[in-house]
Structure formats: C-alpha cells, structure tokens
Amino acid sequence: MNALIDKIQASFLELIGSAIEFLPGLIAGLVIFCLTSYAAEFAERMASQVSPRVVRSKSLQFLLARTSYVAVWVVGILTASVLAFPGLRLGDIVAALGLGSVAIGFAFQDIFKNFLAGVLLLIQEPFQINDQIVIEDYEGTVERIDIRTTQIRTYGGERVLLPNSTVFTNAVQVRTAYGYRRTDLEVGVDYNTSLPEAAEILDKTIRQVEGVLSDPPLEIDLVSFGESSIDFVVRYWTTPRQPQVRYVRTHAIIAIKEAFDQANINIPYPIRTIYSYDQQKFNDYLPSSANDGDSKSG
C-alpha cells in the first residue's frame, strides 16, 4: 500500500515539475501573443503613414497596411508557439501549415480565389477609388477595393459588393479612365431640309453648350435614311463623370430643339397610315358555298 502511495506521489511530483518546467515558456508565449496584437495595430498604423510617401495609389497603400498587419500576426504566433512548446520546431510548424493549407484550400477555395484576385487588383490597378465603372449589370462609383470584394455605389444610391474574382475575370468598363468622354447624340431632320444648313446649325449650337470640350473636336455625321427622317449623329466630348455627361446631354437637346425651331427645321416623328375595309370579302379560306351566296346576294 505504501509503495502505491509512493508511486502516485512520485508521479504527481514529476507532473508538477514538468508543469513548472514548461510554465516560463507558456507565460512567455502568452505575453508574446498579447504583445502581437498591439504590435500588429502599430505596424498597420505606421504602414498607413509611411505608404503615402512611397506609393501614390490608395489601393496599394491599403494593401501595404493590411500586409504589415497580417505579417506581424504570423511572426507573433510562430514565436509564441516555439516559446510555449520548446519541443516544437519551426520546421514542424511549416510542415503542418503545408499539409493544412491543402485541406483548407479545398474547403475555402472561393475565399482564397477572391483574396488572390483582390491582391492582383490592388497591385495592377485597372481602376482606382472614385472611378466610375461598369461590371456586368452594375454601374457606379468605386468606393473601396478590399482584399475580398470591390464595393461600388450605383447612381441610384445603392451599395453593391462584387466578389473580386468576378471583377478580375470579367470585362470592366472604366468610364473615368481618361480626362474626357464622348457622347453620341442622334437627331433626325425632315427630307425637305437642306442638309448642309442643318449640319452648320448643329455645329454652331453644340459648340455653345456649356460643358462641351473644344478638344477633341466635335463631329457631325450623316448616318442613315430613316423611315421619316434623315439622321445625324452629333459626337461631342465632355469631362467623364456621369453627372456632367447627363447635364450636357440635356442642355444639348434643348439647344438643338430651339435652334431648329428658329430655323423652321422639322424634327419628324414616325407616321403610320391605317386602312379600314371588310377583309371577309377577300378571304380565300371561306367555304365555296359562302362565297357563292355572297356573290348571288350581290
């Protein structure tokens, strides 16, 4: 009985001794883990302050800040693990991470796909914050490019979050990529109108509209013989943002209508002629007796 008690006592003392031996490492690991939180936030703030001096792109500034934050956490967790578990080697951790990444990759492939696409978008910068873009059925102003989604604000005041993989693999129309943007405005005139006179009036009128740029120069083309009109296309340039484009288009239409009214030039609209008659008389599918009866009665 005494031997059993002595054995239990020895095992307990050995366990306490092992705990005391590992206790400094555990405490050091917990301290490092807690300090990592502050260090990651500090690194992110410092990167946010320094990055504007290195790169001009806001997207790359955001990427550098987030990369610094994640990098500090990775280093802190690895350091805390090594200190807390002295028998654990860095090579073992890397191997475990390698095996785990395969399983995690299959489980979260969509998340990683969006993450990688977000990193590429931030590096390549096909568009920037405040650019106005069109992606599939969505059009609006870019508010944020995150590492997972691209956030745009539609012209109707709605927020749309598009997965970065969708943005990266689809065609993106960047309306504000350049300093000017062309608008094609169609207008038809009556067939009796003098075409050189109409073209001259259009040219003079559009040049006087506020917001129309003188360079690139505007173009006035005849494009087709319509059903009731000869059709012009007026191609003029404005600054690229959508509110300005709409503003200039509205005032251009008003100015053209007023100028044509003063010059007595008609802007025709489609005309249809409708005939009304008894179609039964010409129906080839009536029975012959019905047709004979109609002819006799006539």
* Tens digit of each residue's pLDDT (9 = 90 or more) over 15-54: 555 555 566 667 777 788 788 888 888 888 888 888 777 7
186 and 166 both lie in a single domain: no
Read off the CATH number of the domain in which 126 is found. 2.30.30.60
3-state DSSP percent of the chain in helix, strand and coil, to 5: 55, 15, 25
Q: Indicate whether 80 belongs to any domain.
A: yes
Please give the helix or strand (H or E) that residue 174 lies within, else none. strand 172-174
15 and 51 both lie in a single domain: yes
Read off the CATH number of the domain in which 223 is found. 3.30.70.100
Res. 273: pLDDT tops 90: no
Q: What is the DSSP string of 94-137?
A: HHHHHHHHHHHHHHTHHHHHHHHHHHHHHHH-SS-TT-EEEETT
9 and 86 both lie in a single domain: yes
Q: Work out the average pLDDT over 213-237.
A: 93
64 and 158 both lie in a single domain: no
147 and 234 both lie in a single domain: no
For the ranges 3-17, 114-128, 255-269, 271-285, the lowest mean pLDDT is seen at 3-17
Q: Indicate whether 72 belongs to any domain.
A: yes
Number of domains present in the structure of the chain: 3
Task: Provide the pLDDT for residue 174.
Answer: 94
Q: Are strands 172-174 and 181-189 parallel, antiparallel or unpaired?
A: unpaired
Task: Provide the pLDDT for residue 298.
Answer: 46
Q: Indicate whether 290 belongs to any domain.
A: no
94 and 145 both lie in a single domain: no
- pTM listed for this prediction: 0.64
- The parent domain of residue 67 ranges over 2-107
211 and 243 both lie in a single domain: yes
Res. 252: pLDDT tops 60: yes
Report the alpha-carbon distance of residue 44 to residue 66 in Å, rounded.
7
9 and 101 both lie in a single domain: yes
73 and 129 both lie in a single domain: no
Task: Provide the pLDDT for residue 233.
Answer: 96
Q: Are residues 183 and 235 in contact, defined by beta-carbon separation less than 8 angstroms? A: yes
**Most confident segment among 26-30, 76-80, 133-137:** 133-137
